[in-house]
Amino acid sequence: MRHAELTLGSAGRFAEAKKVLPGGYTRDAIIRDPYPIFIERGEGSTVTDVDGRLLDDWCLNATSLAIGHADPRVVKVATEQTTRGSAFHTMTGDETALAELLIERIPSAEMVRFTNSGSEAVMIAIRIARGVTGRKLIVKFEGSYHGTYDEVQWSVGPPRDKFGPADDPNVVADSGGLTGSDGRVSVLPYNDAAVLEAFMAAHGEGVAAVIVEPMANRMGSVVPAADFLQKARDSCSSAGALLIFDEVIAYRLGYGGAQTVFGIKPDITTLGKSIGGGFPVGGIVGRKDIMMITEPGRKGRVTHAGTYNGNPVTMSAGRVTQEILTLNVHREIDAMGEHIRSELRHLTEGLPITVSGGGPFFKLNASGRKIFNYRDAVSCDKEWQRLASLALLNRDIVISGSLAGCTASTTTDMQVSSLLEGVKEILNV
């Protein structure tokens, strides 16, 4: 197999990893069959693997590197901060500067708290929602991934035999070790405004929050109908529940996040990935009256500690990254994403393959059915997608195993042409 011939170094590194890491991994998102590639360095939108191959990178660390690998401006501030000290048991002001930038850009943001991952951001956002409302029930959507926090790891990827009715999905554990969801989590079909409205009319008085992805990543970069998100907003407002937008990935849909694209203000937004400039990060932004429940000394305070919350290296790198991502840069990145989606639709015309995504995101779905929700997504031929991603890797193109990718400010026209030519060869069109 050509893949094995090209990745001898990665195979060796993986064999060593399996001796000390369960299954060879310490991060589920990078699990690849037969093994992941191991990287030596990255620059711009390319990476060099341990076998010396220069590869076009369309994953960009799960979409987080909006200005590519090792941007010299980010490297400069991160290095300077590290030489002054990488962590302190107090504040530096870097967290304030990044918070101010996020508040300036995100319409619903009035105050910010920083975390170390998107999963942690979701965890604290849900705790805040329960603290503010005094309610317990969280509503999420079938097929949506919100990190590895217990309260949201339900019905992320349920098997067909556990689906339940389309308008009333079963609540299915996505991991061992989860101890129950009764009275704490309800699951609804994604992108179905009528079901959401009916549920909230019947049960909304007990709902603390509805958490929704404005672009459902794991379902296939599904950008929902605007009326679905509007119904979520209206239903939460009517019921006194909070609306949480999970924009850990979807923040890159627009200059001020997905909420600027749809013109809808959530009560709380969870962030991560691209706001950290390539370093571990998460964030919660929201209305002041909501976020102030975390204020020290407040009665009924929602507490939130973390040794590396607001880490100065991360904060300085994130600030510079946000400053680089001007409105014009965003438009250029998005225009390239739209060009790729348009060309992919042309290449796949007449084939049982659909194209989804928005902004910088694109995805090939090996199904003739347009993907609206999770049950549409499971119609995809995942094995074909996996093999196609390996075939692209053999052509020096790194894309996710489900054929999802994204653009960055460093993505070149030559890389776009190479990607499209690679897809064309695989499809034999």
pLDDT in tens, 81-139: 999 999 999 999 999 999 999 999 999 999 999 999 999 999 999 999 999 999 999 99
Question: CA dist 76 to 7, 279, 316, 411, Å?
Answer: 32, 14, 10, 21
Report pLDDT for 429: 82
- pLDDT at position 310 is 97
For the full predicted model, state whether its pTM sits above 0.85: yes
Amino acid at 46: T
pLDDT per position as a tens digit, 103-116: 999 999 999 999 99
| Fold assignment, 72-324 | Aspartate Aminotransferase; domain 2 (3.40.640)
Q: For residue 410, is it left (φ>0), alpha (ψ between -120 and 50) or beta?
A: alpha
**Could you tell me the strand order of the sheet in which 111-115 lies?**
111-115, 282-286, 268-272, 242-246, 207-212, 137-141, 185-188
% of the chain residues with pLDDT over 70: 100
Answer yes or no: is pLDDT of 274 > 80. yes
Domain boundaries, the chain: 2-66+326-427, 72-324
The tens digit of pLDDT for each residue in 21-40 reads 999 999 999 999 999 999 99
Q: What is the distance of C-alpha 263 from the center of its chain?
A: 20
CA distance 330 to 229: 23
Would you state the pLDDT for residue 367? 96
Q: CATH assignment of 2-66+326-427? A: 3.90.1150.10
- Residue 339: predicted pLDDT: 98
| CA dist., res. 193 & res. 236, Å (int) | 13
Give yes or no for residue 194 having a pLDDT over 80: yes
How much of the chain exceeds pLDDT 90, in percent? 98
Segment 187-196 mean pLDDT: 98
Q: For all residues of the chain together, what is the average pLDDT?
A: 97
